[in-house]
Amino acid sequence: MKNIDSRTHTRGESVYLDDIPLLQGTLFGAAFPSPIAHGHITKLDISEAEQMPGVVKIFTYQDIPGENQIGGIIQDEPLLAEQEVDFCGMPIAFVVAESNEEARAAVKKIKVEIDPLPVITDPRIAQAQGALIVPPRTFILGDVDNIWQACTHIFEGTADTNGQEHLYIETQGAYAIPQENNGLKLHSSTQSPRATQQAACRIIGVPMHFIEVDVTRLGGGFGGKEDQANAWGAMCALAAYSLKKPVKYSLHRMDDMAMTGKRHPYSSDFKIGLDENLKIIAYEVTFYQNAGAAADLSPAILERTLFHCTNTYFIPNVRARAYSCRTHLPPNTAFRGFGGPQAMFVMEAAITKAADSLGLDASIIQKVNLNKTGDEFPYGQLAVSEAHACWNKAEELYNLEAIREKATAFNTSNKFLKKGVSVMPICFGISFTNTSMNQARALVHVYTDGSVNVSTGAIEMGQGVNTKMLQVAAQVFSIAQEKIRLLTTNTTRIANTSPSAASATADLNGKAVYLACTAIAERLLNFVAEELHTEASNVALKNEYVYLDGERTEWDWKRLILAAFLRRINLSEHAHYATPEIYFDKLKEKGHPFAYHVYGTAITEVTVDCLRGIYEVDAVKLVHDFGTSMNPAIDKGQIEGGLVQGIGWMTMEEIVFDKAGRLRSNALSTYKIPDIYSAPKEITIEFLQTQTDNLAIFRSKAVGEPPLMYGIGTYFALRNAIKAFNPATQIPFDAPMTPEKVLLALYSEEVAKLKEKHEQAVRNMAIS
Ligand code: LUZ
Ligand code: MOS
């Protein structure tokens, strides 16, 4: 089945926030961001801005009737700065004017004086000063301290990954419309309607039932709107509530980039120990997470980093420690993978360090350490593993040996072009790590003509979740897809939603749709069985007909529905689903937090131009564990998108903050994301279709986040290509591998000599 949005998308008819027709009298907001990363506000002068044409009101924290607080996990984030600013881009005031342009013009007239305070951008410095968001967490398996002496090989090192801009095509935004009796309707580009509703209510100081949040779809989220859509929703709600006028704020790209948090940069130390058979028997890792200026989702992300610290390997002795460090960057936030990719990069760096030192290909160490069913993760859950199945299938199907030989032959006959190959196995846990969030609801109405409406808590953000929801309803009722419509995500129809996140949206909401449709179907079957003087177990719904003992009856779907309605059978159902079996004990740091894991293996081939440092990804060939995919077209789309996004994070996407905490890569001219030319020339996706029972909807495993981590393979393939040119080079594990870094690594000796010469020249100048 194709994506139900494809027609309106290609015709430009799909409705995003900016496509909502504006009500007469709508006002427009714009935030005034702090120009400085850290300091005390000594003076805020809005008098000139207030006199600007079209300006209706300028809100500061003093105009907030409720609580000036939008922190989710920890109450440490004001909506509008009070006495202190903690990051460059922190909203200080909210201008509301009659037009967008007037609001933005007025923002430029606001004057603020700030006494600067020291700015920290490095998480290790923050940690050394005790600036932590939450106390550190430690996961332990086995006895790492007493196993080092049993190791044949021990290697240590550091590995760093930079952040990543979400770059959803639709920027953040909201549109608040007053209703009678002080109610508000809030359109928001949010992954979490409940969180946006709650934040807005808290700011205004009204109970949650005063605000209805409604979302048709998002033009991308990637985690950037899991928590950080709330501020803009709250600002619009605040202004609409106090002015009794509709208020809209849709951020400009550069404002969005400067004011919102990104993927967390991490700096990490590792120590890895192997026995004589290359089995990793000890692994110790310390993560320094750059949380930014407020907690946001950082504690949850830190937790997922720990959960994924051993990637897909079984390591019997592990100690993993993680610090969430408070710095003066915009609060970093959820981003596809949610701290997992950062941990997996460190694991792969440790293996690569061992392989380099032992003169081996990393894949030899990777392969002998893949986990098996029954192996214990450091957090106590036992694996149901497809690691070997994916690896072996990829190795054979794509002929890894031949790929390697081809690359070696190419490298022998080319001086300035070098190929590199890597293998990247992945393992990703599916469920919110916070057990309580693993719940969802669905509301299904069957109308008297047999047509069906479905509402869920799922947010459609381009990932195709609505199509999957429709498939569930169509399958349970056995009716044509044209009879079913997916409605907007709305807090009055579906309350208390978990964010559409953690790759779990289709599973959680799909199960709720399944339960709702099944309940209605059961009532229908009981009713028709009575009409046909038989047992319900003898009748079934099939292709829009009632079947009796396998034979089609005269009862078609329409007749059935109308007759059931006239007999006053309930044709609506609101169902609730909560993932069974999962739990986690934070005191022991043990449990069974994930419904299941998703596995896969990717082989990456790259070519580096050793004169210029630029590179191409020739091919990524992978085997992915889909369970039993319920929609291969959508799932393949998720794999391709995730992979290219992961490659971008690992290669060309480079976030640069200067020492003062100002974002320098603040536009698409200075922040490069993969385009069609930098995507792999070839992406081959092979399905590992398994029949094993799992907790996924229709056994179709979650596919949102796992494929991003295949992108890590590109980093290590590039490294191998560089080493083919310059075997002696020492390449720090420091992603992204930009062309500049490639060039420096290719000519590390020359670079060192130039540096020496330069320093000598500087010394000579100083003397003369
Ligand atoms: N969001 C969240 C997530 O709140 N908890 C999670 O475990 C998670 N995992 C992935 C992505 N978003
Ligand atoms: Mo997410 S990182 O699943 O919002």
Mutate to test the pocket of ligand 1, among 301, 463, 584 (most ligand atoms within 8 A of CB): 301
pLDDT value for 689: 87
Q: Which residues fall within 8 angstroms of residue 709, CB to CB, at 6 or more apart?
A: 337, 340, 341, 344, 424, 426, 428, 646
- Does an H or E element contain 588, and which? none
Instruction: Say if residue 768's pLDDT is above 80.
Output: no
| Ligand located closest to 297 CA | 1
Whether 446 lines ligand 2, by a CB cut-off of 6 Å, is no
For ligand 2, the distance from its centroid to the CA atom of residue 499, given in whole angstroms, is 8
| Ligand located closest to 434 CA | 1
CA gap 592, 206 in Å, rounded: 38
Instruction: Say if residue 539's pLDDT is above 90.
Output: yes
Q: What is the pLDDT of residues 293-326, one digit of tens each?
A: 999 999 999 999 999 999 999 999 999 999 999 9
The answer to whether 350 touches 270, Cβ cutoff 8 Å, is: yes
Identify the three-state secondary structure at position 391. Answer: helix
For ligand 2, the distance from its centroid to the CA atom of residue 687, given in whole angstroms, is 24
pLDDT category at 395 given cuts 50, 70, 90 is very high
- Ligand 1 pocket residues where CB is under 6 Å: 223, 226, 297, 300, 304, 334, 338, 432-434, 437, 501-502
| Ligand located closest to 505 CA | 2
Whether 335 lines ligand 2, by a CB cut-off of 6 Å, is yes
For ligand 1, the distance from its centroid to the CA atom of residue 78, given in whole angstroms, is 23
Residue nearest to atom 4 of ligand 2 (CA): 223
pLDDT value for 143: 98
Residue nearest to atom 3 of ligand 2 (CA): 501
- Report which ligand 1 atom has the smallest distance to the Cα of 433: 7
Instruction: Say if residue 726's pLDDT is above 90.
Output: yes
- Does an H or E element contain 370, and which? none
- Report which ligand 2 atom has the smallest distance to the Cα of 336: 2
CA gap 510, 105 in Å, rounded: 46
Could you tell me what percentage of the chain is helix, strand and coil, using 3-state DSSP and rounding each to the nearest 5? 35, 25, 40
Q: What is the pLDDT of residues 348-368, one digit of tens each?
A: 999 999 999 999 999 999 999
Q: What is the pLDDT of residues 631-643, one digit of tens each?
A: 999 999 999 999 9
pLDDT category at 591 given cuts 50, 70, 90 is very high
Domains of the chain: 6-117+172-250 (3.90.1170.50), 266-432+589-744 (3.30.365.10), 439-578 (3.30.365.10)
CA gap 436, 445 in Å, rounded: 27
Average pLDDT over residues 415-430: 98
Average pLDDT over residues 607-634: 98
CA gap 504, 501 in Å, rounded: 6
Instruction: Just list the catalytic residues.
Output: 705
> Phi-psi region for residue 220, left (φ > 0), alpha (ψ -120 to 50) or beta?
left
pLDDT value for 683: 98
For ligand 2, the distance from its centroid to the CA atom of residue 221, given in whole angstroms, is 8
Whether 227 lines ligand 2, by a CB cut-off of 6 Å, is no
Look at the block and give the residue holding tokens 């320098």: 664
Output the average pLDDT for the chain.
Answer: 98
CA distances from 679 to 233, 578, 606, 676 (A): 35, 38, 11, 5
Residue nearest to atom 11 of ligand 1 (CA): 502
pLDDT value for 289: 99
Q: Which residues fall within 8 angstroms of residue 669, CB to CB, at 6 or more apart?
A: none
Q: What is the pLDDT of residues 654-679, one digit of tens each?
A: 999 999 999 999 999 999 999 999 99
Residue nearest to atom 10 of ligand 1 (CA): 502
Instruction: Say if residue 218's pLDDT is above 80.
Output: yes
- Report which ligand 1 atom has the smallest distance to the Cα of 297: 4
Average pLDDT over residues 1-26: 96
pLDDT value for 265: 98
The answer to whether 262 touches 165, Cβ cutoff 8 Å, is: yes
- Report which ligand 1 atom has the smallest distance to the Cα of 304: 7
| Ligand located closest to 465 CA | 2
For ligand 1, the distance from its centroid to the CA atom of residue 113, given in whole angstroms, is 38
Supply 630's token pair.
Answer: 């319920």
Q: Are strands 84-85 and 590-592 parallel, antiparallel or unpaired?
A: unpaired
Instruction: Say if residue 477's pLDDT is above 80.
Output: yes
pLDDT category at 116 given cuts 50, 70, 90 is very high
| % of the chain beyond a pLDDT of 90 | 99
pLDDT value for 471: 98
For ligand 1, the distance from its centroid to the CA atom of residue 328, given in whole angstroms, is 23
pLDDT value for 692: 85
